[in-house]
Chains A and B, each alone.
Chain A
Amino acid sequence: MTQVESQAKERPLQLQLGNQATAIGLLDGGVRYFAAYPGTPSTEILEEADRKAEEYNAIVHWSTNEAVALEEAIGAAFSGKFAAFAAKHVGLNVAADPFLSISYMGVPGALVACIADDPGMHSSQNEQDTRWYARLAHLPIIEPIDPQTAYDLAKKAVEISHKFETPIIFRLTTRISHGLSPVSRSEKIEPPELEFKRDPRRFVTIPAYARENKKRHHKMWEKLSEWVETSNLWAEYLKGSKIGVIATSVAGAYSWEAIEEMGVEVDLLIPYITYPWPKKKILEFLKSHEVILVAEELDDILERELKLLAYEHDVRTKIHGKDLLPWDGEFDSNTIKHGLAKILGIDGPNTDTVVRDDLVIPRPPTFCAGCPHRATYFALDRVFKKQDVIYSSDIGCYSLGVLPPYQAADALVAMGASIGMGVGFAFSNPNRPVVALIGDSTFWHTGLPGLANALWHDANLLLIVMDNGVTAMTGMQENPSAIDVPPMDRLSIEKTAEAMGAKVWVLDPFEERDLRRTIKTAMNEPGVKVIVARRPCIILEGQHLKLKNETFPPSVDVDHDACVLCGICYEDMACPAISFDVDEQKVKVDQTLCTGCLYCAIICPKDAFFVVDTKQ
């Protein structure tokens, strides 16, 4: 399928995620320096690179946040190294400041910025379209359509970046990043041995130099645009039709499928480099069709550019796009079929089966059985009883605290925003308690400047750092204070906060009464208070046990004579392993889910939980 130079060698095909294929493509293309902050759906790029770091002699760093990660990659690429940076779409916002200036300077090595968008918002707060960033930053953008093109084009991206000395955006989406397919690999390319050469007129972006650099960048762009014309970085399926589809990213794959399955005479063009795009090729396709459907998820970027091209060349082809296809959510082949059906005046796909909503139960993600966050929320709920407290929350597993029964999130906007917003809440609501909630990884990510600001302005704020010793939500990555970081390299949240001037308490959230008492004590103090609620993530615990060939400790069961069905365990604490059987009027423990953490035994007023060894 792929028309990119994919001379599959005799290496065996392997089932790869798009993210893994991207990482391997970058490595095979010569990238030897990776930096990223984890974020779904981009995380597995760096994870895969990390697994292969030794084999390729590559430096692979999880950085404290996306700006820092990009800056690392810039330093490497300025030094002549082939470097890559990976982030989710909103992560690029954090790195936007350096990102929007590097095009002026370019890079003597190579720099591929792999950015994963999330149409459908599977695990994100918005649906921003990274392709705008290419226009904003004046950087080229490449868009694979599946894991195989991800591999091929990632290699190609490294080549283009080095050839034109420009950073390049490699744009993925959830369904490419987490799409799976067999991937064949081609030859490994060894990067040149380069090192940093001083050139302040290029790398120091004071206004006088920046003006020159912008002109230099413009010349590069002209050369790149010309090169793209003959790059063959597109795929086309022509049937000699008067109707054509121009599709990008995963919509290219769906368009191919839709046309095949509908059995209709429709031509298809999938550009892999979409900015600058192969203008002559696109124009030729435009001129040779009477009707064109632009199939792109999220915004109408290619549609606008195609309309502009049609205007410039006075082409009267009818151009459809967002008038027939959705602006929001993700596509599938039905999406394209519906759009094509309207153009062709035929029936769309049959999607008559309707889900009976009354039979569907909500099943949002929950805190795991044994999760330390649940204990912190349980204590907060007992202290504040959902009254006039304002919870300024943040991004991590603990975001789930917004759901019942805890409902302990009143605002959640962006990484690290809990503390900054908390200051605003505190000064705007002086008579109400304000609690900011942040995780360990987010504390280091963008919490620190917020804490400095809160201390500087002496805000009346309680900050709870929910430290589970790992960046858990994205799948157990390390951060500066993570448990798996060797002690000599590990940073201390409490010492940092103390050195900055905060009053700090550290305790285990499973010490339920202590935690409640400490929250109350802290609330009586003026200014910024920090409680570090520290207990390891239960998944991390499980992984550590597995390494030792061990499993979780014995689980618990209920002494039904002692239990008075007060509901504290199954309603207020809400462990997924504990449920109330309405028919039998009994509290039950799911032994396969229970991790034997014993938090239920800690909070049960009747001591009704007892340990049973079911794991034998």
Chain B
Amino acid sequence: MKMNILLAGVGGQGIVSLGHVILQSAMKVGMGAKGAETHGLSQRGGSVVFHARIGDFLGPLIAKGQADVLMSLEVAETVRYIDFLSSNGTVIMSTRTISPSILIQIGKKYPQLEEIYQEVSSKARNVYVVPTEPMALTLGAPKAENLILLGVLMKVQPFVEYEVVEEVIANRWPRAKEVNLQALKAGYEYPTTIKEKILP
């Protein structure tokens, strides 16, 4: 099995941790794992992307048009990387919006959400939208939006057994184990397509 997963979001949202959990889960069952992280200055509230590649790959980067799944923790970040998605790819995105303060300076507005959802839907085979922010707050785990999104992936396009991911998460955050596993489960039980929820 080969799978290219591109993870996008804003610095501080836990994109790199999410990438590590995915790669470690693949490694645990003996699958190939390759990744590419964003480091340095770009982490300071900027756009962050992580390339996670499972299976027989050698290079760290997913090329454009090659991502099987695009997971995005921020609405507008989804469109920035949509050209990485393959023609029959899946998008799993949060409904979370984070408006950068520079928009005020340059007199630009955050794009209309419907327009983004339309655009994403037109370029993907399946689109799953998840209200990660309210879900995470309900769980009392504001930092676990990334794991909610991962839960959805485990439902709609699992690359390993669910229990493997659980084990990796439990080992990685022993002190926040319970709440993180709840976040994963919440996502797993919330695979809602964009057609059901947002677009008619």
What CA separation (Å) do A41 and B46 show in the bound complex?
17
Q: Is the CB of B101 within 8 A of A576?
A: yes
Residues of the A chain whose Cβ atoms lie less than 8 Å from the Cβ of B11 = 365
A174 vs B110: C-alpha distance when bound (angstroms): 31
Q: Which of B19-36 contact A (CB under 8 A)?
A: 19-20, 23-24, 27, 32-36
Which of chain B's residues have a CB closer than 8 A to the CB of A353?
Answer: 64-65, 82-83, 85, 87, 123
In the bound complex, do residue B59 and residue A365 qualify as a contact, i.e. CB atoms below 8 Å apart? no
Pair B60/A397 contact, Cβ less than 8 Å? no
Q: Does A499 contact B (CB under 8 A)?
A: no
A366 within 8 Å of B (CB atoms): yes
Q: Which of B111-119, B156-164, B177-185, B187-195 contacts the other chain? A: B111-119
- A146, B106: Cβ atoms closer than 8 Å: no
Q: Are A359 and B100 in contact (CB under 8 A)?
A: no
* Chain B binder among A49-57, A253-261, A412-420: A253-261
Q: Interface size (B, Cβ < 8 Å)?
A: 61
Please report the C-alpha to C-alpha distance between residue A475 and residue B103 in the assembled complex, in whole angstroms. 27
In the complex the two chains form, is A368's CB within 8 Å of B44's CB? yes
Known: A362-B102, A579-B99. A15 touches B83 (CB 8 A): no
Q: Within the complex, what minimum Cβ distance (angstroms) separates B137 from chain A?
A: 9
Chain B neighbourhood of A182, CB < 8 A: 27, 33
A360 in contact with B80 given A146-B60, A404-B102 (CB within 8 Å):
yes
Residues of B61-76 whose CB lies within 8 A of A:
61-66, 76
- Taking a contact as CB atoms closer than 8 A, the residue among A253, A356, A579 that contacts B79 in the complex is A356
B interface footprint on A464-498 (CB within 8 Å = 1, 0 otherwise): 00000000011100000000000000000000000
Contact A256/B58 with A180-B35, A334-B63, A363-B100 known, Cβ cut-off 8 Å? yes
Question: How far is the CB of B35 from the nearest CB of chain A, in Å?
Answer: 4
Query: Does B1 make an interface contact (CB < 8 A)?
Result: no
Say whether B111 contacts A175, CB under 8 Å. no
Interface 1/0s, chain B 135-162, versus A by CB < 8 A? 0000000100000000000000000000
In this assembly, does A332 line the interface, its C-beta being within 8 Å of a C-beta of chain B? yes
Is B199 an interface residue, CB under 8 A from the partner?
no
Chain B residues with Cβ below 8 Å from A17 are: 37
Q: Are B35 and A181 in contact (CB under 8 A)?
A: yes
A586 to B20, CA, bound (A): 39
CB neighbours (8 Å) of A518 from chain B are none
Hey, which chain B residues are within 8 Å of A240, CB to CB? Answer: none
Q: Please name all residues of chain B whose beta carbon is closer than 8 Å to the beta carbon of A146 when the two chains form the complex.
A: 34, 58-60
Whether a CB of chain A sits under 8 angstroms from the CB of B17 is: no
Q: Is the CB of A40 within 8 A of B102?
A: no
Report yes or no: B110 in contact with A473, Cβ–Cβ below 8 A: no
Question: Is there contact, CB below 8 Å, between B33 and A363?
Answer: no
Q: Which residues of A contact B24 (CB under 8 A)?
A: 15
The 8 Å CB contact of B42, one of A180, A355, A365, is A365
Most buried by A among B11, B32, B76, B102: B102
Q: Are B41 and A366 in contact (CB under 8 A)?
A: no
CB distance from A258 to the nearest CB of B (A): 9
Asked if B165 is an interface residue, CB under 8 A from chain A, the answer is no
Residue pairs across A and B with Cβ atoms less than 8 A apart, 21 shown, are A13-B27, A43-B39, A123-B39, A123-B40, A176-B60, A180-B19, A257-B58, A330-B61, A353-B87, A354-B83, A355-B79, A359-B111, A359-B116, A361-B110, A362-B100, A363-B45, A364-B102, A365-B44, A574-B104, A575-B101, A578-B101
Give the 5 A-B CB pairs with smallest separation, nearest first. Answer: A40-B40, A179-B60, A180-B35, A365-B46, A404-B105
